Chains A and B, each alone.
Chain A
Amino acid sequence: MRTKPIRFLLTGGTLALIAFFAALFFLPKPQGTGLTVNKDVPFYSMPWNDNPFFPGLINTADGKMLDGANVPSAEFCAQCHEKEYREWASSVHSDTGLDLLYDTAANNNEVAHKNRNGLEKTRWCESCHEPVNLLRGEVNPLAVVGPSQAAKEGTTCVVCHTAVKADPLAGNGAVTLDLNNLNNYNEALIMAAPSEHARNMQSKTHNPLMGSSDFCGACHTEIRPVEINGGDPLHLQSTYEEWQKSEYAEKNIQCQDCHMPPDPAAFIAELNETGKTPKRVVSHRFVGVNYLLTDPTLPSNLTTFLRGGLPPGGISLDEWKADLLEQQRLTLDLIKSAATLSVSAPASVSPNATANLDVTIVNSGAGHSLPTGALDQRHMWLEVKATDATGKVIYDNGWFDEKTGKVDPSAVIYIKVLVDKNDDPIYEHILFNVKSYSYTRDPIPANASDTIPYAIPIPADAQGTITVQTTLWYRLALQEFVTYSLKLDMILPPVMMAQNMIEIPAK
């Protein structure tokens, strides 16, 4: 009897299919690419507990370390998402690790606790500033992991786009990333299943966490753990809580609404004008207040130096400078949209008398306090300057000396004063050594105001109408930090947040 070929094929095919499904059932599921500490990553120091990332609170979904080779870099993402990549590259988020100010501050802290696990303690900082670095085991006394492009990219794409959980009240980078299950991500896999890619990358429609303040809060809340320097936990930054207590939170206006539109100042203007939240259009510039790292006009290659190196791959120097210039414009506009100034003054004033003024600062555009963030460095102050009709300055409180970088010590200033165990002030952001802190003046909550009285003595020889110019200044860091920590021969200039001018006629 002759067997027909069709029977061979049918029987063979059926058996093959059975074998296929059996194999699918019995084959091990993909395990992910995570590495086990002190097994795959040897000689890793964990002085406090079994959590390799502590005292940082960032984590991976499987609790394992990242294999650097399997972490897609921003340059990889840029192959398809060039616009987003360019926006991010000029933002401060692309520079959270290499930023010279951060890098120097981290080093200051590490050195301050030399021989006291200083380096391991910086995991607290790295949790937000160099998350990939930390998650792959690079923050260790011995170099036990190889280089990784993504590790140098600060808050790189996958840090946000693989986040599955966040604890904004715990802060210190309390985000969980599901990065180890990407399993050798490559272009072919993405192109073969774009919707799977969107799901993997937590696009907002798949994971609302990406669009909420809760996510940002995980890093914009900073609490020094007791393991750093004993004592009680020290609440150092509370931007998230400031927002949470504000009307912005009540109105469901999230961080992303103000900081991620293409033009944040325009967004705030429309919000204030209409009272309605404009439709969200997302830009990856993450506009904030860092007017220094976004300034491409600094002399002698200083921008590159401050940002810790040349622009990320795929962007020419000219393109990068143009992007930075736009970033700085948006930044300065946003700073100017945060506050308004008003002055109440007498109807007239005579020589040899005192003009009593009330200057009111209104936090009219920020969904958190003013100022906010690392307030031992970032500060704002008022300058009140009066001139007579001849232009002669008769009063100047809150001056800024452009030659020394000093601010009038009698100025009304909003800054946090840190002190060490000897009650000596800490100017160089050595948070590891802080014993306590105090505010020279409390930051102004969202939609609140602060009124400061001034008594301007009018000299006997003052001529005619008195002009009073009131300026609210903002500065990113203390001059002491620039001079003694960065060792830069530069004066860090302030930028203007708001200005008001009134005239008081002579009696």
Chain B
Amino acid sequence: MKKIWISSLVGILTLSLMLTACASPQTAPTADSVSTENAAAAEVDLSAVKAYAVEQASLMKESAAALRAGAEKYYAAIAQIKADHPDANPYEYLWANNPDAAKALLNQMRADWLEAHTHYELNEGIIAGVPTLAFFDDWLDAGPSAEEDPEALEWKLVLADDTTLESPGNLFHSLTEPALYGTVDKYVGLPVDLNGDGSLGVSEALPEAEILLAATQALDVASDQTLDAVKAWQPTLEDAFMAMVTMIPTMNEYFEQWKLSAFVSGGNFEGTSFIAASRLLDVTGILSGLDLTYDNIRPIVANADASLDSQIAAGFSDLVKYVNNLYDQEKAGTIFSPEEADSFGTEAQNKAAALAALVAQAAAKANVKLNLDAEGWSPDAPPVIIVVAPDPAPIQ
């Protein structure tokens, strides 16, 4: 009799197991399916994120100041030539009489620009993603000009010759980069054969001094204000999640700009920006800031859902590796085709969209409220930068 029950039990258990296996598919995990009590109690220390942001903003400020100093020297040299040789074209005169000094100064300014820009990019994920800092992203790096968008960020740049530029766009890509690399005709002082190959290629030009001086002084002022804002920033968990959820899924925009830039389109390039640094630098910079941010909030997420935390960490690792690999190949000399750029962009965006969705889930599980309508900070009045012209002085 005992054997009957054993047989029956085995049969029932087997069928039960089969039924369990055939039962309805697992429903997706829900945001509230895991207790968030522990998460709420967990402490998070975002001081490392702030320290990183302050460090990058400080380094940007240093390079922007150096760039401004270079532009003032350049302006003073042009002003000196105008005073000494009023009938001469000052740029032609400078290039004819001091080509090496002019080239060295221009190269130094370009190096300072790249330095300032790189430190901004390393900070962009945080600055552009945190509502109280996002104003500076518009002003420094992302905002269009009034010509491109009637609702562009309002600000004024009053040049040394009293010309006023109304909402001329962002400082890095609408003003300083085109001025330093000669991609906008009106910002060119004189096209010159900088590399001595006997032809005038892309970015071979002496800058127009008025706009260069104005743009670099404005960049210096804006960098200073950015540093102050970052120092005053009290990072919150909402800021950290908001930065990640808003900035991670922006891959396709950057890849599209990369595709259209000189780094991919080469000779077919018709733009005015993204000529000095590859847009892949921006992507790697943004991701490194966000990756660091996530590292600092991991305990909160792990507390709410350890598996989700692992998925996010793996997602970051995968995306960062993917983009870094592309950037490394580009730095090593690979020139990708526009079709390849499209394909890479699609893949990066897919990875980013998946990652951003996981981060949003994590925020929900950690009981962090992300305010979709959060008002960003902006100054009481639109910034007005009035350029101060240095005294004339010969180039050294």
- Chain A interface: which size bin? 35 or more
B41 at the interface (CB under 8 A from A): no
Residues of A within 8 A of B (CB): 3, 7-9, 11-13, 15-16, 19-20, 23-24, 27-31, 33, 35-36, 39-40, 42-43, 45, 67, 114, 141-147, 183-184, 309-310
Chain B residues whose C-beta falls within 8 Å of the C-beta of A45 in the assembled complex: 372
Would B19 and A36 count as touching, CB distance under 8 A?
Answer: no
A29 to B32, CA, bound (A): 22
The distance in angstroms between the C-alpha atoms of A309 and B353, with both chains bound, is 18
Within the assembled complex, what's the spacing in Å between the Cα atoms of A8 and B5? 8
Q: Tell me whether B331 is interfacial, beta carbon within 8 Å.
A: no
Interface string of B1-34 (1 = CB under 8 A from A): 1011001101110111001000111011111100
Minimal beta-carbon separation of A387 from chain B (angstroms): 42
| A42 adjacent to B364 (CB under 8 Å) | yes
Given contacts A19-B11, A144-B357, 9 further A-B contacts (CB under 8 A): A3-B4, A7-B4, A11-B7, A15-B8, A33-B27, A40-B31, A147-B350, A309-B342, A310-B339
Report yes or no: B349 in contact with A147, Cβ–Cβ below 8 A: yes
**A23-B19, A33-B27 are known contacts. Are A43 and B370 too (CB-CB below 8 A)?**
yes
Q: Which residue of A lies closest to B356 (CB)?
A: A143
Do the beta carbons of A8 and B4 come within 8 Å of each other?
A: yes
* Chain A residues whose CB sits within 8 angstroms of the CB of B357 once the complex forms: 143-146
Whether B249 contacts A143 by the Cβ 8 Å rule is: yes
Mask, B356-382, CB within 8 Å of A = 1, is: 111011011000001010000000000
Interface presence of B253 (CB below 8 A) = no
A183-B24 contact, Cβ under 8 Å, with A12-B4, A39-B31, A142-B360: yes
Q: Contact: B353 with A43, CB < 8 Å?
A: no
Q: Are B27 and A31 in contact (CB under 8 A)?
A: yes
- Given the interface pairs A23-B19, A141-B372, A142-B372, the reply to whether A36 lies near B24 with Cβ below 8 Å is no
How far is it, in angstroms, between the C-alpha of A42 and the C-alpha of B363 when the chains are bound? Answer: 9
Q: Tell me which residues across on chain A come within 8 A of B249, comparing CB atoms.
A: 143
A201 to chain B, nearest CB (A): 19
- A27: chain B residues at CB < 8 Å are 19, 23-24
For residue B353, which residue of chain A has the nearest CB?
A147
User: Could you tell me if B7 and A9 are in contact, using CB atoms closer than 8 angstroms?
Assistant: yes
B353, A19: Cβ atoms under 8 Å?
no
Distance between Cα atoms of A310 and B340 in the complex (Å): 11
Q: Are A42 and B361 touching (Cβ within 8 A)? A: yes
For B353, what are the chain A residues with a Cβ–Cβ distance below 8 Å? 143, 145-147
Q: Are A43 and B364 CB-contacts (below 8 A) given A11-B4, A145-B357?
A: yes
- Interface residues, chain B, CB within 8 Å of chain A? 1, 3-4, 7-8, 10-12, 14-16, 19, 23-25, 27-32, 151, 245-246, 248-249, 339, 342-343, 346, 349-350, 353-354, 356-358, 360-361, 363-364, 370, 372
Q: Which 6 residue pairs of A and B lie closest in terms of their CB atoms, listed nearest first?
A: A16-B11, A42-B364, A30-B24, A12-B7, A146-B354, A143-B249
B residues in contact with A40, CB < 8 Å: 28-31
Chain A, residue nearest B1 (CB): A3
Residues of A within 8 A of B349 (CB): 147
Contact partners of B246 in chain A: CB under 8 A: 142
Which residues in A have their C-beta under 8 angstroms from that of B354?
Answer: 146-147
A42 to B356, CA, bound (A): 12
Contact A43 to B27, CB < 8 A, known contacts A114-B151, A146-B354, A310-B342: no
- Whether A146 pairs with B342 at a CB distance below 8 angstroms is no
Closest residue of A by beta carbon distance from B346: A309
In the complex, how many angstroms separate the beta carbon of B304 from the nearest chain A beta carbon? 12
Identify B360's interface contact among A23, A42, A147, CB under 8 A. Answer: A42
- Neighbouring A residues of B3 by C-beta, 8 Å: 3, 8
Q: A13 to B24, Cβ gap below 8 A?
A: no
Are B245 and A143 within 8 A (Cβ)?
Answer: yes
The answer on a CB contact under 8 Å between A143 and B15 is no
Q: In whole angstroms, what is the CA distance A9 to B11 when docked?
A: 10
